């Protein structure tokens, strides 16, 4: 409950308004979000005495309720909207009388300034404040509810926490929306098992940081994430941070390639780094990039 409250505070600070939606839903929602016929999410807890078909099952996903809320705002000509909900879903479990009831953090947004990268940045900041360090993001191209080129899965500690991205245009159309809609569905239950319960405070560094910029050329299909992970693995303890600051395609870059520019920050906790120290780290990074990913210095 405390974690959910903190997530709500963070979401509101990022401009999201809280919504509370019904746990009862309609079986038709599965078709609206383009779930396959064999999707496990179509296995629901059915209400014995429903008020009608629209409230005849317990929801197994919070996405339809979020899309319905966004649709109402689009219909009322609101130019932009951002909503969040800490929702309970109900997943039948074989051999159990009662379903599992995990909590889901559901986000939804549309309007000026809302895109894949702004939502990713908001999620990164939110997860960091909630005690989750260094989550990984993997491109997802086969989820029927999301755009195949603007969707990513969030993972940490070997567990999938959920996914986010642009809602598939066909799904948005099913809800009567002709705008780009972005949504996120993250599991609180899995999040609790991988977050750091304690915050560790470190003294301010005594020794200066050395910055090195690297412009790299790699295949178009190589993700920034996999290049960053390779750099971090090669940099060792002296590498304190890796930040992408430019992506370039155009004259001077071969077809099927792209240029990624990273800023590396190096620092030792017990001494001032020399040129030899930084050169050795950069060499290790470049060697590992070329060996494992075929990435070369531009």
Instruction: State the pLDDT confidence band at 188, using cuts at 50, 70 and 90.
Output: confident
Instruction: State the pLDDT confidence band at 85, using cuts at 50, 70 and 90.
Output: very high
Collapsing DSSP to helix, strand or coil, 208 comes out as coil
- Whether residue 113 contacts residue 96, with contact meaning beta carbons closer than 8 Å, is answered with no
Mean pLDDT computed over 144-169: 93
| pLDDT for res 61 | 96
Kindly report the average pLDDT of the chain as a whole number: 92
- Tell me phi and psi for residue 93, to 5 degrees: -125, 130
> Radius of gyration (Cα) for the chain, nearest Å?
22
| pLDDT for res 172 | 97
Q: Is the pLDDT of residue 197 over 70?
A: no
Q: How far is CA 172 from CA 19, 38, 53, 77, 175, in A?
A: 19, 22, 22, 16, 5
Element (H, E) at 292: helix 275-293
Percentage of the chain surpassing pLDDT 70? Answer: 99
Tell me the per-residue pLDDT of 226-283, one tens digit each, with 9 for 90 and over.
899 899 999 989 999 999 999 999 998 989 999 999 999 999 989 999 999 999 999 9
94, HSE (Cβ side, Cα atoms, 13 Å): 1
Specify which residues 110 forms β-bridges with.
81, 181
Instruction: State the pLDDT confidence band at 66, using cuts at 50, 70 and 90.
Output: very high
Collapsing DSSP to helix, strand or coil, 92 comes out as coil
Instruction: State the pLDDT confidence band at 24, using cuts at 50, 70 and 90.
Output: very high
| pLDDT for res 70 | 98
Specify which residues 297 forms β-bridges with.
216
CA 23 to CA 86: how far, in whole Å?
12
Q: Give the chain's length.
A: 298
Collapsing DSSP to helix, strand or coil, 179 comes out as coil
- Whether residue 230 contacts residue 288, with contact meaning beta carbons closer than 8 Å, is answered with yes
Element (H, E) at 43: none
Q: 208, 206, 210, 215: which is closest to 280 by C-alpha?
A: 210
CATH 3.30.300.30 corresponds to the domain 210-297:
no
The predicted model scores a pTM of 0.82
Instruction: State the pLDDT confidence band at 126, using cuts at 50, 70 and 90.
Output: very high
| Fold designation for 2-194 | BirA Bifunctional Protein; domain 2 (3.30.930)
- Whether residue 57 contacts residue 27, with contact meaning beta carbons closer than 8 Å, is answered with yes
CA 31 to CA 253: how far, in whole Å?
44
Task: Give the residue extent of every domain in the chain.
Answer: 2-194, 210-297
Q: 180, 170, 188: which is closest to 81 by C-alpha?
A: 180
CA 53 to CA 51: how far, in whole Å?
7
| pLDDT for res 135 | 84
Element (H, E) at 289: helix 275-293
Sign of the C-alpha dihedral, residues 42, 157, 127, 288? negative
Instruction: State the pLDDT confidence band at 158, using cuts at 50, 70 and 90.
Output: confident
């Amino acid at each position: 409950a405390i974690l959910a409250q903190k997530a709500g505070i963070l979401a509101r600070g990022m401009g999201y308004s809280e919504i509370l939606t019904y746990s009862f839903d309609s079986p038709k929602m599965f078709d609206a979000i383009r779930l396959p016929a064999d999707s496990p999410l179509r296995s629901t807890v059915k209400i014995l005495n429903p008020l009608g078909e629209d409230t005849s099952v317990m929801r197994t996903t919070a996405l339809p309720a979020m899309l319905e809320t966004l649709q109402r705002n689009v219909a009322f000509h609101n130019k932009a909207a951002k909503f969040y909900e800490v929702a309970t879903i109900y997943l039948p479990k074989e051999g159990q009388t009662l379903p599992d009831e995990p909590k889901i953090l559901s986000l939804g947004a549309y309007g000026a300034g809302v895109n894949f990268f702004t939502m990713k940045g908001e999620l990164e900041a939110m997860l960091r404040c909630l005690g989750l360090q260094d989550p990984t993001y993997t491109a997802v191209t086969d989820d029927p509810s999301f755009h195949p080129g603007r969707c990513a899965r969030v993972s940490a500690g070997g567990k999938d926490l959920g996914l986010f991205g642009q809602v598939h245009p066909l799904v948005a159309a099913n809800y009567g929306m002709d705008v780009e809609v972005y949504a996120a569905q993250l599991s609180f239950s899995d999040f609790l098992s991988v977050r750091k319960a304690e915050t560790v405070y470190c003294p301010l560094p005594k020794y200066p940081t050395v910055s090195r910029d690297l412009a790299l050329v790699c295949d178009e299909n190589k993700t920034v994430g996999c290049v960053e992970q390779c750099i971090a693995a090669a940099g060792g303890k002296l590498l304190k941070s890796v930040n992408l600051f430019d992506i370039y395609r155009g004259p001077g870059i071969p077809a099927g390639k792209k240029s990624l520019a990273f800023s590396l920050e190096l620092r030792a906790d017990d001494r001032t780094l020399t040129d030899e120290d930084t050169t050795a780290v950069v060499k290790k990074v470049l060697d590992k990039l070329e060996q494992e990913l075929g990435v070369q210095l531009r």
